[in-house]
Amino acid sequence: MNKKTILISLKVLVSVGIIWWLLATVDMARFWSAFSEADIPLLLLGILAQLGVFLVLCLRYWVMLDALHRCPLLKLPGSYYAGIFANNFLPTGVGGDVIRSWRLRGLGIGWDRLLSSSLVDRVLGLISILFLGLCGIAASDDVVLDDRSQALVIIILLALPVALVVLFSRRCHALIKRLAGGLDRFAPVRFLFQLLAQCAVYQGHIDRVLLAIGLTLLLQSLTVAAYWLIGLSIGIELSLLAYFAIVPIVVVVTNLPISLGGIGVREGAAVALLMQFGVDQSLATANAIGYLGVLLLTSLPGGLVLLTDSPVPSAGAHGESGRTVEANVTRNTERSESTLL
């Protein structure tokens, strides 16, 4: 058994173990009654909100990729959905970004641009999620912060725009390299410098960066709405602002590379946070499992794309150097690949 198989097996055990523990510690009668008595129209609205998340995700990816290489928007949805399916279903270290890029390689776009745009797209997503979550915590009446915590939230909110400037400024990158000295002999530091180099490409496309941030705030709001609508459908009376404080934290925790596609970790975090807001454990678990079901259900069309639709035909323009870039960037993407929106 090789290392990769062992790692995947451990992730499966973590996912299955957490889901089993959640279901083993709740009142199953109340858990099932939450679904049997669910408000179907609200549940359908939650499903539509999640589909909206995937639509905006695809649009955000196109915004970032089109800045590097002009490409038709209508060429992306099928391949993007195939990547979503891979992220949520396939037990492999090669996630949706690589599958999506492999399918789009025939558009004449280099592997470095395809995968770099995906990686920068995810970094912007993380920064936007942190911003939205902190705003939710600050605005929610259900969260009581002492003076020190309030000051910390304000400091982080002010630091995030600074982080964006550092991320896309070549001068800041050069300063970081000088300060790092010989640390670039370590793989994580080298990967950081590679990421900074990829971000620097967008220094001349700040309008695209700002648009991508706006789209991230929209898609995360849709994710919050999906959780909220599913919760309402099963009888959880919690304010929408409370979900704005909860869901971004759940999304960030989901990206810890310790489970299969975030399954289990996402649900465990959601249940723990919902309970902190006074939600009954059985209903909190029903909300978390309900969202998982919606996420998997709405991801299924991507599997049909993989089975029935061929990748964009390759133009044969990449050659040996393209394959070398593919191998290098793929290894980097595998390190950072997760279910981050």
C-beta contacts of 278-281 below 8 A and 24+ residues apart:
278/142, 278/238, 279/231, 279/236, 279/238, 280/30, 281/25, 281/26, 281/27
Q: What residues in the chain have per-residue pLDDT under 70?
A: 1, 91-95, 106, 309-341
Taking the C-alpha atoms of residue 154 and residue 132, their distance in angstroms, rounded to an integer, is: 13
Quick one: which of 184, 187, 127, 114 has its CA closest to 157? 127
pLDDT of residue 24: 93
pLDDT of residue 295: 94
Query: Tens digit of pLDDT for each residue in 2-22?
Result: 777 888 888 889 999 999 999
Residue with tokens 């949706």: 96
Residue with tokens 């964009």: 312
**C-alpha torsion angle, residues 230, 286, 304, 125 (rounded to 10):** 60
Instruction: Tell the burial category of 28 from Cβ atoms under 10 Å away from its Cβ (0-12, 13-18, 19+).
Output: exposed
Query: Tens digit of pLDDT for each residue in 62-104?
Result: 888 888 778 888 888 888 888 888 888 776 544 677 777 777 7
340 HSE (CA, 13 A, CB side): 24
pLDDT of residue 173: 85
Sign of CA dihedral 336, 119, 99, 301: positive
CB 43 within 8 A of CB 233: yes
